[in-house]
Structure 1
Amino acid sequence: MASFDFRKKTTDSRYPKEWVKLRREIEEWATDYDLPYQVPSLSSNYRNLKIAVYTPIRLAIGLKTINDISSKQVPKARKIFYKIKEICDGQ
């Protein structure tokens, strides 16, 4: 069975470089993050963490999909991600 590499998708040149960099940060954080509990009904905590970060970014910026983000919107997305990360890491 072939596996899908999420990181490869973020190297696509059609996305702003700032977004690619932030998206990699989000992916690394989601991969390394240990939930304080395991949710049995969820098959992938990695995927759910990414959704938990991308949804507030999409809503705050007004995007239909997260990949519609522009270079000018990335700083706001970064602030949102760092705030979520801060809350989850308990800092």
Structure 2
Amino acid sequence: PEVRAKLRNWGVSDYARIFGRAIGIQAQFLEVPPRQILASDYLRYYYRFADYAYACWKDGVKFPLLSPEEFTFELYASGEYSQLLERQWQG
């Protein structure tokens, strides 16, 4: 719930799709490929490729369902994370 609220405060309405696309892109590339090897249609319609790759990944991976108590993480904007690291380093 906290992650959802934070994303909505940032103006992100379809947060599930963003995470799905991130997984889909990561499933396609282990490392960031040089731009020169990517077709212009891929760059123009990357979201379609990412959505399809995510659907394939999701259907091909079996994993146990976790309860919210078993799956916790924090989500930060880049500025928030920079400030957090700065405070930790100043310690």
TM-score by length of 2: 0.33
* CA radius of gyration, larger in: 2
